[in-house]
Amino acid sequence: MSPARPDFLRVLDGETLTRPPVWFMRQAGRYLPEYRELRTRSRDFIEFCLTPERAAEATLQPMRRFPFDAAIVFADILLIPRALGQDVRFEVGEGPVLGELPPLEAMAERTLQAGEALGAVGETLRLVRANLDVRKALIGFAGAPWTVATYMLDGRPGLDRAAARRFAYETPERVDRLLEVLVEATVDYLAMQARSGADALKLFESWAEGLPDDLFERLVLKPHQRIVEGLRGRGVNLPLIGFPRGVAAQAEAYAAAVPVQAVALDTSCPLAVGRKVQQIKPIQGALDPLLLRAGGPALDVRIDQLLEAWGAGPWIFNLGHGILPDTPIAHVERTLQRLKG
């Protein structure tokens, strides 16, 4: 007898469950002592991500410790620029630093080899799938084109991504061509992840916030639509989750316009907006990572509020952004105990 479909995938199919399935963004990471020990074995972060045995171990660590319903492959959204020929490195205490942007047409020649260039991520997925409980889902992911482009254009992007937005206004043809290149590379990369054992795919548009409607349509909606179309054209029928972070005012428009199966909501999204999006398709989110870190009675209250607001529809419980490195493990345990009973 075949195993039951994982709860995570049932919600992406549109089902409403008595208890929402749960996983956390960045659930594999520095808040876990076993992760910190594992990280010391690699020379740098890129090497860590591209060493399948270590990346698979990082992916599986939180699944062993907590009753999460899904694992997300351990990788990084900036692997695609590296596959396209741009220098990418992570500096301690500073984060990602990218080198000069290669010529656009030189990058365009690499787009259909992006999956092959990042084949180590596919091997990580295969290793995880072989060692993951069949009742648990496995998520593959990529950074969405505009978010990846902000890093590629800025090199060291600031919190407001002003330089990248300025480029979008001043050199629209160049930015649009870069987005086209990234759409093609992202399709190839995600298709490879689908072949390698992913059960679902996620697009992280971390820097969608702050865009006026015309830029939001041009830089976010249209590239996301083309990625979904490209994947379906390749026969990839896995469910997709779109995460346009910080766009509460545009979340309904995103849900209606982009043919993803679910929309992930960030911490700032009002509960009422989440309910409206939930009328269009399943949602994911949106506990504040700072509240998870703080814990206490306020954490319990917010969990109850989310359950009351979104529990009557298809919903995956998650954070509104990634788990913070100094989050106490006891607070994660408390949250899962409240959700799992």
Q: Which residues are annotated as a binding site for substrate?
A: 26-30, 76, 151, 206, 321
Distance CA 154, CA 99 (A): 9
Please say if 188 is a catalytic residue. no
DSSP string, 66-88: S--SEEE----TTHHHHHTT--E
- Of 76, 188, 199, 266, which residue is the catalytic one? 76
302 among known catalytic residues = no
Q: Is 35 a catalytic site residue? A: no
Say whether 288 is catalytic.
no
Closest CA to 61 of 94, 39, 34, 40: 34
Q: Which of 31, 35, 151, 189 is catalytic?
A: 151
> Is 5 noted as a catalytic residue in this protein?
no
Residue 106 CA from chain centroid, whole number: 27
- Strand 95-98 and strand 88-91: pairing? antiparallel
Virtual torsion, Cα 15, 286, 70, 147, nearest 10 deg: 110
Q: What is the DSSP string of 166-177?
A: HHHHH-HHHHHH
Catalytic, out of 10, 26, 129, 218: 26
Residue positions in the annotated binding site?
26-30, 76, 151, 206, 321
Of the listed 39, 126, 177, 275, which one is catalytic?
39
In the DSSP assignment, the letter for residue 23 is -
List the beta bridge partners of residue 98: 88
Q: Which helix (H) or strand (E) holds 244?
A: strand 240-244
Q: What is the DSSP letter of 207?
A: T
What distance in Å separates the CA atoms of residue 317 and residue 303, rounded to the nearest whole number? Answer: 9
Q: Which residues are catalytic?
A: 26, 30, 39, 76, 151
